[in-house]
Amino acid sequence: MRKMKVVLIGGGTGLSVLARGLREFPIDITAIVTVADDGGSTGKIRNEMDIPAPGDIRNVIAALSDSESVLTQLFQYRFEENQISGHSLGNLLIAGMTNITNDFGHAIKELSKVLNIKGKVIPSTNSSVQLNAIMEDGDIVYGESKIPKMQKKIDKVFLEPDDVEPMEEAVEALEEADLIVLGPGSLYTSVISNLCVKGISHALLNSSAPKLYISNVMTQPGETDGYDVKEHINALHRQAGQSFVDYVICCTDQFNDNVLQKYREKHSEPVDVNVDELKQDGIKVITASNLVEISDEHLVRHNTKVLSTLIYEVALELISTIQFDPNSKRQQ
């Protein structure tokens, strides 16, 4: 039996944590990663070298690496602020390999080989891009890191330049996927930023693979204030130009006062779930009683093992119902 092909779309911490969980399962993983980050070490390298943002890519490569732990630790090592400007060594390696190969996508392939990753990591585009946002009041915010700081409701986000081509490998992965997973992570700056590459949105909509969205557990200040699960999905659909989400994994737990107070201090709250509304839209809701875990500091995080298992079970169920088609790329 061939391995199931699961494509992940996202960025930030959420994607790398999910990738680390899924690598334990017998599936073929491809991660399509945003390259619009402009903060920290990534932002400095982008500005100086005019290459796509390496930071989120670096984290996913490290998460999927099968190399000796010391090599992965070295790849993730970050110098102090007064040592090489606080850069991550992995970002410097990606930048250096991009200079050697003169191609960002090829550099990612070569470093993926060095770190012996399980699966593929593909930037959504090979071009250096900037993520901007149009707010509901008409203001335009330039730069990914500045968008949440405005503390305004986002109408839509867009890339500059807006006509960048997707990575061909990313399009092929979407065409061949058995399951496409979006999230978890910052809705606009980590997930939707990938869909701003028109070729990615087009391939996503044209893919026959079911699409699963992993909802964040808490709202994100400056991005999803007051959003429930359906509003997260609506934002994805607005960007793509039509509805496409078939499944959503979300948390229906009630949190204690300590957790709620911790997040109120950050101007954040639990993402509400209206199961009936989602079902009316034809979206299947998936959850588990232990989907999230709470730290001693009252912080809420997805339980990576439980989340990965839910995704694997969905993929298993789907592949068992696929009719054989000798012309399908998914079955080759």
Alpha-carbon distances of 318 from 5, 62, 315, rounded to whole Å: 11, 29, 5
For β-strands 211-214 and 179-182, DSSP reports them as parallel
What pLDDT shows up at residue 230? Answer: 98
pLDDT value of residue 263: 98
Paired sense of beta strands 284-286 and 247-249, if any: parallel
**Torsion sign (Cα): 16, 17, 18, 19:** positive
One-letter amino acid at 275 equals V
CA distances for 61 relative to 94, 117, 245, angstroms: 11, 7, 27
Residue pair 332/176 in contact (Cβ under 8 Å)? The answer is yes
Q: Are 119 and 31 in contact (CB under 8 A)?
A: yes
What is the reported pTM? 0.93
pLDDT number for residue 84: 66
Cα three-residue angle 43-46-49, rounded to 5 degrees: 145
User: Contact at 8 Å (CB) between 327 and 15?
Assistant: no
Reply yes or no on domain 4-34+162-331 having CATH 3.40.50.10680: yes
Q: What is the pLDDT of residue 324?
A: 45
List the beta strands (DSSP E) in 196-267.
211-214, 247-249
Q: Is 275 helix (H, G, I), strand (E, B) or coil?
A: helix
For residues 54 and 37, what is the distance between their CA atoms, to the nearest angstrom?
Answer: 8
116: CB partners within 8 A, 6+ apart:
65, 66, 67
Distance spanning both ends of the chain, measured CA to CA: 12
- Spell out the per-residue pLDDT of the chain, length 332, in tens: 678 999 999 999 999 999 999 999 999 999 999 999 998 888 889 888 899 999 999 999 999 998 768 888 888 998 876 656 778 899 999 999 999 999 999 999 999 999 999 999 999 999 999 999 999 999 999 999 999 999 999 999 999 999 999 999 999 999 999 999 999 999 999 999 999 999 999 999 999 999 999 999 999 999 999 999 999 999 999 999 999 999 999 999 999 999 999 999 999 999 999 999 999 999 999 999 999 999 999 999 999 999 999 999 999 998 876 544 545 555 55
Domain residue limits, the chain: 4-34+162-331, 38-123
Answer whether 187's CB lies under 8 Å from 154's CB. Answer: no
Say how far apart CA 278 and CA 193 lie, in whole Å.
24
Question: How much is the pLDDT for 92?
Answer: 93
Beta bridge partners of 286: 249
Specify the pLDDT at position 43.
87
pLDDT score recorded for residue 188: 98
Contact partners, residue 9, CB within 8 Å, separation at least 6: 31, 32, 124, 180, 181, 182, 183, 191, 194, 195, 200, 204
pLDDT of residue 127: 96
CA angle, 167 then 169 then 175, to 5°: 110
The pLDDT, as a whole number, for residue 195 is 98
Amino acid (1-letter code) at residue 70: V
